[in-house]
Structure formats: C-alpha cells, structure tokens
A and B are shown apart, each in its own frame.
Chain A
Amino acid sequence: GEDVEQSLFLSVREGDSSVINCTYTDSSSTYLYWYKQEPGAGLQLLTYIFSNMDMKQDQRLTVLLNKKDKHLSLRIADTQTGDSAIYFCAEERGYSTLTFGKGTMLLVSP
C-alpha cells in the first residue's frame, strides 16, 4: 500500500519506556522522521534518521530503523507526563516532501 502505518494509541505509566512503531512503504526514502504534536499546536521535530543508519540515540529518544522490513520505532526512556502527545512518523519521498502516518496518541499516567 501507499500508507505509513502507526498504531493509534499507547498508554504507559510514568517512568516506563514507551515504544511507538511505524511501518513505511518507500524503500528509497532518504530520511525518516518522528514529530510530536501537542493539542492545538504545530509539529515539533523530535528526531530523524538517515536511511543508511540502523539506530540513532538522542538523550531519552532512541530510533531504530529496519530497512528490510521498512519498520521504524521510537523509544522514549523514562516517559514523563509531559510526553503525552500525538507522535507522527513520516517518510521523505523525494524533494523533501513528507508522507505522514495517522499518529499515535501516547498517554502517560502518573
């Protein structure tokens, strides 16, 4: 298919790790992205990974890329209530145009 797929909802407890998964479709994507959107706000670039990398770590965030399976994941360590938001996975399909998944709503409970 042509869609970027994400699970719609994830609930975790504060202090746990969160893992948000995404599958994409274009094996020629150069970059893959994770964005965070809080209610009524725009998209905040969390991290991105170049397609020739398998992993990228940035403080509490770890991105894993499996190109063979076209699978991307975002792990948030020590999840906090402030991490509650919608997380979008996106792939670049050439000329910087991005195709987004429908977003995963992360709910962090105290």
Chain B
Amino acid sequence: GAVVSQHPSRVICKSGTSVKIECRSLDFQATTMFWYRQFPKKSLMLMATSNEGSKATYEQGVEKDKFLINHASLTLSTLTVTSAHPEDSSFYICSAPRQGTGEQYFGPGTRLTVT
C-alpha cells in the first residue's frame, strides 16, 4: 500500500487565490521531505527540501514567498501556492526518504489547475 499520501489529488482554483497541498508519510517518520514539480511529458524538477523544525531549503529559481513550505510534524509537510497564477498549473509531487535505508517514496501527486 501507499506509504506517502497527498491531499488533494486535484484542485482547481482561481487566479489570485492560495492553495495548500498536504504530504504525509503514513508508516514512518520523515524529518525531511521533498517537493517536486512536473510539467507535461517532462521530468521532475526539485523545488525545495522541507525540514522538520526548521526552514525549507529552496532550489535556485524557486520563489520561497510564493511556494510556502511548512513541515509541522515528522509525518506532515505542506506546500502552499500563494497568489496562484495560470503558469503555476502543474503536477506537484512530494517524496519522503525512509531514514536508514535507500528507500524514497513518492506521493500520488496533486494536479493544480489555476483558471
């Protein structure tokens, strides 16, 4: 079964509104989680590293004020897309590594459409 969940699986919002996406590790604790963005027929682009108890680390070119990340507990990270615009429409996927192993699991993804 799934070990990382995401909610919602798809969301449609209007330009200018904010959207929150949740990522949960289901049967292990994750001090670190990752947020990726995937464009159609493209590979995954790492956006940021979510760190429990400290600030997220953003990749170059990713606006931290636009993509707010909060890692509130050892099983939950949230990504909030603020003041969304149509160009933010994309597939957002989170991942969580299981510490002490090489395993890294991905959530099922969230399809965001901004109208």
Contact = CB atoms under 8 A, between A and B. Distances in A.
Chains A and B bind each other: yes
B46 A97 contact: yes
B34 A42 contact: no
Contacts of B102: 30-31, 33, 48, 50, 92
B89 to A, nearest CB: 15
B105 A45 contact: yes
Given A95-B49, A96-B32, A97-B49, A42 B106 contact: yes
Contacts of B106: 35, 42-45
A82 B102 CA distance: 26
B111 interface: yes
A102 B43 contact: yes
A33 B32 CA distance: 18
Interface in A78-110: 88, 92, 95-103
A100 B43 contact: yes
A98 B95 contact: yes
Contact of A88 (B32, B34, B43, B104): B43
Contacts of A41: 108-109
Contacts of A96: 32, 34, 97, 104
Nearest to A30: B102
B44 A100 contact: yes
A42 B109 contact: yes
A1 interface: no
